[in-house]
Structure 1
Amino acid sequence: MEAKPVCRKCISDEIVSQIREMIEHGRLQPGDRLPAERKLAEQFGVSRTTVREGIKILSESGFLTSRQGAGTFVSRPDDGARGGSLIDAVLAGNHDLQDVFEVRKMLEPEIAALAARNGSPDAKTRLEAILMEQEQAIDDGESGAGIDQRFHQALAEASGNPVLREMVSALHEGFSRSRAEEVQSPQRQKASLAAHRAIVEAVRNGHAMQAERAMREHLDEVERIIFDNQRGAYSRR
């Protein structure tokens, strides 16, 4: 496969985009094995950790399948990793950001509450580890958007509800517009990190109502920041 070097700002999101484009345009076929992480890192001009993050996002979205000891492969239609026609319609749509946030606010506060009620010690430890990764990424000047996506997926996994887990995994690509580079800003990154800390603390302590409230406030704040920034950019034209 041929890959273009990516800029530091885009990193894992651009890797996800490039590999998805190769799959959708037939340059990568179902059943094809991806090159090793080291080779992909050289082709993209990024670290192996960044490649691993991109592969994880694509695996959770159903585009790739990892097989222990064999490698990572493009998913086949019968792998069952992706959703049906409803999910495909969501993924294919160029949806309005307000609509995306409306759906996220319907689902994710309850997911956070369930994570606080049902989360295992291992699930809570994973959330804390992802939070630390996000802190480091932002300190390094990265957007942390891919890690943000993993955080919300880990919450769904911690909820203990397999339907919610699969739904969030399948909808990740549809939700990704609310995390795209053009809607990132230092203000949003700082607000997201603070909100994630509050959510993790509530989940860790088993406080479902606090977790639900923290998630709702988080989504409200991120939505406000995005649209305030967009209005400000429009007024400066």
Structure 2
Amino acid sequence: MEARPVSRKSMSDEIASQIKEMIDHGRLQPGDRLPAERKLAEQFGVSRTTLREGIKVLSEAGLLTSRQGAGTFVSRPDDGAREGSLIEAILAGDYDLQDVFEVRKMLEPEIAALAARNGSPDAKTRLEAILMEQEQAIRSGEVVGGIDHRFHQALAEASGNPVLREMVSALYEGFSRSRAEDVQSSQRQRASLAAHRAIVEAVRNGHAMRAERAMREHLDEVERIIFDNQRGAYSRR
């Protein structure tokens, strides 16, 4: 495939747009493997981190499929069907936030423990980078819901379990309801940052039980803050 260097403005979006254009015009066919990450980043003239963000946009849209140890491929029709079936089966309903948190509390503490056991140095560095980005965003007064999702997705990737990684990705539509802007209070953002620090420290040092406990406490605290805020809003009506 041939890629044009991208401008500094919205680089990841432009990467996604160029790759989608290649797919739409048949220059990339279903089942085709994208060039190696390093080579593709050089062609676009961007960092590998920026390239990953662009690829992630298309992966979430179902146009690309990443296979651990094999690379990133243009999705086949049956790839989308499998993912769609999972999402439709689990997320077609209008689920209550309480239901979302029950699922999160079943999955994410174990994901954190596995990340501490199995996380590679690169995976741990990625978590630390996202944590720094979250700190900077909070200092700037930005809403960090998207960063929060990337943190939890990076934990799933660090777990080394591709099934968990795909489950977190597929379930994000439901999880995102517990990270929506209307529940992103300043109190929650500060609590989330402190909890993420504790989780990253445990994962970095390979302490699985501490990582699991930190994640469980994090989810319990976030759940309490959200529902306390909702009760306060209702009482003011």
Q: What's the TM-score once normalised by structure 1's chain length?
A: 0.71
- Number of equivalenced pairs: 190
Change (3 A) 1:63 1:80: closer
Structure 1: how far apart are the matches of 2:24 and 2:135?
35
Structure 1: how far apart are the matches of 2:143 and 2:223?
17
Residues 135 and 193 of structure 1 are in contact (CA less than 8 Å); yes or no, is this contact kept in structure 2? yes
Counterpart in the other structure of 2:62: 63
Change (3 A) 1:61 1:91: farther
Counterpart in the other structure of 1:218: 218
For residue 162 of structure 2, what is the amino acid of its counterpart? P
Counterpart in the other structure of 2:169: 169
Counterpart in the other structure of 1:44: none
Question: How far did 1:197 drift?
Answer: 0.3
Residues 183 and 226 of structure 1 are in contact (CA less than 8 Å); yes or no, is this contact kept in structure 2? yes
Q: Map 1:88-107; keep pairs closer than 5 Å.
A: 88-107=88-107
Counterpart in the other structure of 1:36: none
Residues 57 and 146 of structure 1 are in contact (CA less than 8 Å); yes or no, is this contact kept in structure 2? no
Root-mean-square deviation over aligned CA pairs? 3.0
Question: How far did 1:87 drift?
Answer: 2.4
Counterpart in the other structure of 1:200: 200
Structure 2: how far apart are the matches of 1:115 and 1:195?
16
Question: How far did 1:53 drift?
Answer: 9.2
Identity %: 80
Change (3 A) 1:234 1:95: same
Structure 2: how far apart are the matches of 1:215 and 1:60?
26
Q: In structure 2, the residue corresponding to 1:83 is in which secondary structure? A: helix
Question: How far did 1:65 drift?
Answer: 3.0
Question: How far did 1:215 drift?
Answer: 0.1
Question: How far did 1:207 drift?
Answer: 0.2
Question: How far did 1:60 drift?
Answer: 4.7
For residue 208 of structure 1, what is the amino acid of its counterpart? A
* Unpaired stretches in structure 1, ≥5 consecutive residues: 1-14, 16-27, 34-50, 68-73
Question: How far did 1:62 drift?
Answer: 4.3
For residue 180 of structure 1, what is the amino acid of its counterpart? A
Counterpart in the other structure of 1:180: 180
For residue 110 of structure 1, what is the amino acid of its counterpart? E
Structure 2: how far apart are the matches of 1:195 and 1:102?
19
For residue 172 of structure 1, what is the amino acid of its counterpart? Y
> Which shows bigger deviation, 227-236 or 92-101?
92-101
Q: Map 1:7-86; keep pairs closer than 5 Å.
A: 31-32=23-24, 58-65=57-64, 77-80=77-80, 83-86=83-86
Q: In structure 1, the residue corresponding to 2:107 is in which secondary structure? A: helix
Structure (1 or 2) with the larger CA radius of gyration: 2
Runs of 4+ residues over 6 Å off in structure 1: 51-54
Change (3 A) 1:56 1:231: farther
Cα displacement string for residues 138-178 of structure 1 (whole angstroms, at most 9, x for unaligned residues): 11111110000000000000001111111111111121100
Higher relative contact order (CA 8 A, sep 6+): 1
